[in-house]
């Protein structure tokens, strides 16, 4: 059979398809298709072997070579050469497909025909693209009226630059054009960037998100360029005491949280950023808040805790402090108890039972015990003074007495006692004892807190000239 010769050759990896002399002859036409960033070549190959064993070896070699991806493709049409090589970034992701042509007339004991298809990805090498395969953006407006847009696209390698290098060279112009299309006068801040790069850095997908900036990047009077997109939250809460009087002003515990991104150009460590910029800002906000709340700067800092994220290049933290009101009383608890004695004297008498007693009238007594627990912002002397003011006199103004009325003993109120000859009475302080706790210092600056537990015993004296007996 005559050898087939053509002025065309196709190479895939180490194999070259040309004529019978190469062992792999191109049979029939070669179909080539060039789409945007894609090239495809379809052709048939006749494998020539010197023997059955040689044919089998060459066929196995052909099938194995075609199944290997990412090899170079070189197609020669006379003087026209199409080269797709990863080394010079003219083509990548090459792959081949091969199928035997069982109906071919070339299928003999020393020849065999196969159908082959080679495909390869090409760069965005058009002059107007210069590596930019394409991009688009989405634009939205949030409830607060702040605009946002997300830019997505694909960049390819262009010799001699890889795709990421080409991205760095082109992205600024792409972003500028997108901003101009949305609003040339708006100010924008980049909030997120994603990059997807293939294993050989030949093709890269990207996504960038921006939000409109309508405020300064710093909340303090001194604009700190190192801090980006700061956020600050103030949460106040009343400190309740179950034993406090209803009209006692409550201290307010306030938590201020702060978070900001640190600019990537800043080379100092995050701790320095916290100490030099964030702490002054938090203390400034704490002083401003307490002044607006009570007209003074009386506060006790309870906790300052920073959080650093070296991976995210962020700094955040919290300051917790207590703002005290104009009054120093923090909590008051008053307990009052009344103890009475009917004044009955029991005298043993002879009778039918061995334990018989006679009940004779005696002096009746009435006592009140006041226990005041008072906590103040200040010294123990201030706590004792406040406690004595709250426990000045029992609230019970008509305590019961013990009088013999109509032949029997009964407890009488102050008014009832007056009806039978008593002229009233009043409470008299009989004894006093107290326990002082503190002062206990807490916070920064330290503020003293003291507690006094005061116990007072009062005796109720009724001025009655004689015992009123009515039978």
Q: For residue 234, what are the β-bridge partners?
A: 256
How does residue 288 score in pLDDT terms, banded at 50, 70 and 90?
Answer: confident
Q: pLDDT value at position 372? A: 87
Task: Check residue 357 and give its pLDDT.
Answer: 55
Per DSSP, the three-state class of 385 is helix
Give CA–CA dist 219/293, Å, rounded.
20
Using CA atoms, how far apart are residues 166 and 157, in angstroms rounded to an integer? 7
Q: Are 179 and 188 in contact (CB under 8 A)?
A: yes
Cα 323 to Cα 325: distance, rounded to the nearest angstrom: 7
Give the CA-trace dihedral at 269, 169, 216, 299, to 10 degrees.
-20
The residues that bridge with 95 in the sheet, in sequence order, are: 119
Q: What is the mean pLDDT of residues 137-147?
A: 87
CA distance 259 to 312: 12
Alpha helices in 146-278 (DSSP H): 163-182, 270-273
Helices (H), 279-320: 279-294
Query: Average pLDDT in the 16-42 region?
Result: 90
Are the C-beta atoms of 366 and 391 separated by less than 8 Å?
Answer: no
Q: Is cis: bond before 86, omega within 30 of 0?
A: no
Residue 61 DSSP SS3 = helix
Is the pLDDT score of 405 beyond 50? Answer: no
Q: What are phi and psi of 274, to 5 degrees?
A: -65, -50
- With contact defined as beta carbons under 8 Å apart, do 91 and 37 qualify? no
Strand 365-377 vs strand 188-197: parallel, antiparallel, or unpaired? unpaired
Residue 67, pLDDT score: 94
Distance (Å) of CA 19 to CA 7, 23, 67, 83, 113: 9, 7, 22, 20, 13
Closest CA to 286 of 272, 273, 308, 303: 303
More confident residue, 101 or 464: 101
Between these two residues, 167 and 290, which has the higher pLDDT value?
167
What share of the chain in percent tops pLDDT 70? 74
From residue 237, how far is each of 234, 240, 322, 323, 444 by CA, in Å?
10, 9, 10, 10, 19
Q: Which tokens in the block code for residue 171? A: 């992205």
Region(s) of the chain under CATH 2.40.30? 8-121
Q: What is the CATH number of domain 8-121?
A: 2.40.30
pLDDT at 309: 82
Q: What is the pLDDT averaged over residues 34-46?
A: 93
CA 188 to chain centre: 24
pLDDT in tens, 160-198: 899 999 999 999 999 999 999 999 988 888 888 999 998
Give kind and range of the element (H or E) at residue 56: helix 52-66
Distance of CA 87 to the CA centre of its chain: 46
Residue 99 has pLDDT above 80, yes or no: yes
Most confident range, picked from 60-64, 215-219, 291-295, 463-467:
60-64
* Cα–Cα distance measured from residue 307 to residue 232, given in angstroms and rounded to the nearest whole number: 14
Strand residues in 284-398 grouped as ranges (E): 299-309, 314-323, 329-341, 344-348, 357-361, 365-377
Q: What is the dihedral of CA 59, 61, 63, 66, to 10 degrees?
A: -140
Measure the CA–CA gap between 78 and 240, rounded to whole angstroms.
94
pTM of whole model > 0.75?
no
Instruction: Assign 55 a pLDDT band (cuts: 50, 70, 90).
Output: very high
Q: Scan for tokens 């015993």, then name that residue.
A: 457
Among the listed residues 75, 83, 74, 66, the one whose alpha carbon sits nearest the alpha carbon of residue 31: 75
Tokens 């795709």: give the residue: 163
Residue 468 structure tokens: 């009123």
More confident residue, 289 or 315: 315
Q: Are 76 and 32 in contact (CB under 8 A)?
A: no
Q: Using one digit for the tens of pLDDT, what is the confidence trace for 327-373?
A: 567 777 888 887 776 555 555 555 566 655 555 555 566 788 888 88
Of residues 236 and 261, more confidently modeled: 261
Mean pLDDT value across the chain: 79
């Amino acid at each position: 059979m005559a050898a087939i010769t053509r002025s065309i050759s196709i190479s895939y990896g180490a194999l070259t398809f040309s004529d019978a002399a190469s062992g792999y002859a191109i049979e029939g036409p070669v179909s080539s298709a060039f789409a945007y960033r894609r090239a495809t070549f379809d052709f048939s190959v006749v494998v020539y072997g010197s023997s059955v064993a040689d044919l089998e070896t060459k066929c196995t070699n052909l099938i194995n070579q075609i199944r290997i991806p990412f090899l170079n493709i070189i197609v020669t049409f006379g003087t026209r050469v199409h080269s797709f090589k990863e080394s010079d970034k003219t083509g990548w992701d090459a792959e081949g497909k091969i199928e035997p042509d069982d109906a071919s007339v070339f299928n003999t004991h020393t020849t065999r025909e196969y159908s082959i298809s080679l495909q390869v990805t090409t760069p965005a090498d058009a002059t107007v693209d210069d590596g930019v395969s394409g991009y688009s953006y989405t634009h939205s407006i949030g409830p607060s009226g702040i605009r946002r847009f997300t830019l997505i696209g694909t960049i390819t390698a262009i010799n001699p630059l890889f795709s990421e290098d080409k991205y760095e060279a082109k992205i600024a112009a792409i972003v500028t054009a997108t901003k101009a299309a949305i609003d040339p006068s708006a100010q924008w801040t980049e909030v997120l960037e994603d990059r997807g790069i293939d294993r050989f850095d030949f093709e890269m997908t990207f996504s960038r998100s921006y939000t409109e900036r309508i405020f300064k990047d710093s909340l303090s009077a001194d604009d700190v360029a190192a801090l980006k997109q700061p956020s600050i939250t103030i949460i106040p809460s009343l400190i309740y005491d179950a034993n406090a009087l209803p009209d006692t002003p409550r201290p307010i515990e306030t938590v201020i949280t702060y978070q900001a991104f640190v600019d990537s150009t800043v080379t100092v460590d995050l701790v320095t950023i916290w100490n030099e910029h964030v702490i002054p800002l938090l203390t400034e906000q704490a002083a401003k808040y307490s002044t607006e709340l009570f007209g003074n700067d009386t506060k006790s800092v309870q906790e300052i805790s920073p959080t650093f994220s070296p991976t995210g290049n962020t700094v955040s933290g919290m300051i917790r402090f207590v703002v005290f009101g104009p009054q120093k009383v923090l909590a008051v608890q008053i307990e009052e108890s009344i103890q009475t004695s009917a004044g009955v004297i029991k005298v043993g008498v002879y009778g039918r039972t061995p334990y018989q007693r006679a009940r004779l009238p005696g002096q009746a007594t009435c006592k009140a015990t006041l226990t005041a627990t008072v906590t103040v912002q200040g010294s123990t002397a201030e706590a004792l003074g406040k406690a004595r003011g709250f426990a000045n006199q029992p609230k019970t103004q008509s305590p019961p007495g013990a009088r013999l009325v109509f032949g029997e003993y009964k407890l009488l109120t102050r008014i009832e006692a007056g009806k039978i000859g008593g002229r009233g009475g009043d409470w008299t302080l009989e004894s006093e004892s107290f326990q002082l706790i503190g002062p206990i210092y807490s916070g920064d600056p330290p503020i003293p807190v003291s507690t006094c537990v005061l116990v007072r015993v009062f005796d109720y004296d009724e001025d009655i000239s004689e015992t009123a007996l009515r039978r």
